Amino acid sequence: MTVSDVVLKTEHLGISFGGLKAVEDVNLEVKKQQLYGLVGPNGAGKTTIFNMITGVYTPTTGKIFLEGEPLVGHTQEQINHMGVARTFQNIRLFNNMSVIRNVLVGLHYDERFKCSMIESMLRLPRHAHSEAAMRERAKEILRIFDLEDERNNLACNLPYGKQRKLEIARALATNPKLLLLDEPAAGMNPQETADLMTIVKRIRDEFGLTVLLIEHDMKFVSGLCDELTVLNFGTVLVQGDTDKCLNDPEVIKAYIGTTQEG
């Protein structure tokens, strides 16, 4: 493995709030086109790590690199432009905008569709061409998520599972190198979860994406992730191959339980 194969790397990452260490000495190495999972109970520090990667929080200790470029010290917008996109535990859509306009918002960051202020103000041919190309690209993305037929509906009128998919579609529209998914299957029924698993694999393959996800659904995690880092109170309990991690006695004891029912 070369340095260029590593998309995300953290070194001794940590953060404290008022003297309380929320995350301590976390070392991640996520390779290109890998599906990588962060696992742990509520309060383990998973979303805090996402917030440090995306610039919401500044780490107290450690470093974060995207394809070798340091992320610490950059703003959230700069980090997004560098190629990091995310979704949230609580869905954050533009509810009173149409489905397709939610995706178009993400596409406005794409350099391929940029126009000068003059071209936009005077609505010159380049502006019209750019608008048409953006709309076609938005429909292509919505098609992946089986949302094209919903494109003119308000986002707030979508069922919950489709709102989850739309949030991922909007993040994908920013053309990221690294996609962070925070509990993408939360609240979904088994069929929706299975469909989402297929979609995540598809966008990884078609877009060459690297995906880092937080999830509590162990069936989803085991069916999707290549490797895991399991957190416990902000520190790494175990990391490596997914099956090995999920069968680790300490992981079973801490997160899955020592007995199985049914």
Instruction: Give the pLDDT confidence score for residue 73 in this predicted structure.
Output: 94
Average pLDDT over residues 67-81: 95
What DSSP line would sit under 146-209, residue for residue? T-GGGTTSBGGGS-HHHHHHHHHHHHHTT--SEEEEESTTTT--HHHHHHHHHHHHHHHHHHT-
CATH number at 1-83+176-262? 3.40.50.300
Q: What is the mean pLDDT of residues 144-154?
A: 95
Out of 40-54, 106-120, 204-218, pick the least confident: 106-120
Domain with CATH 3.40.50.300 in the chain: 1-83+176-262
Give the model's pLDDT for residue 116: 46
pLDDT in tens, 38-68: 998 888 899 999 999 999 999 999 999 999 9
Beta-bridged to residue 8, according to DSSP, are 30, 66
Which is more confidently placed, 210 or 258?
Answer: 210
Least confident of 128-132, 153-157, 188-192, 244-248: 128-132
pLDDT of residue 123: 57
> Confidence class of residue 114 from pLDDT cuts 50, 70 and 90?
low
Q: How confident is the model at residue 111 (pLDDT cuts 50, 70, 90)?
A: low
| CA pair distance 200, 221, nearest whole angstrom | 12
* Residue range 3-51, pLDDT digits in tens: 569 999 999 999 999 889 999 999 999 999 999 999 988 888 999 999 9
Contact 39, 230 (CB under 8 A): yes
Mean of the per-residue pLDDT values of the chain: 88
Contacts of 223 (CB under 8 A, 6+ apart): 197
CA distance 7 to 39: 20
Q: What is the pLDDT of residue 260?
A: 39
E strand or H helix at 77? helix 76-82
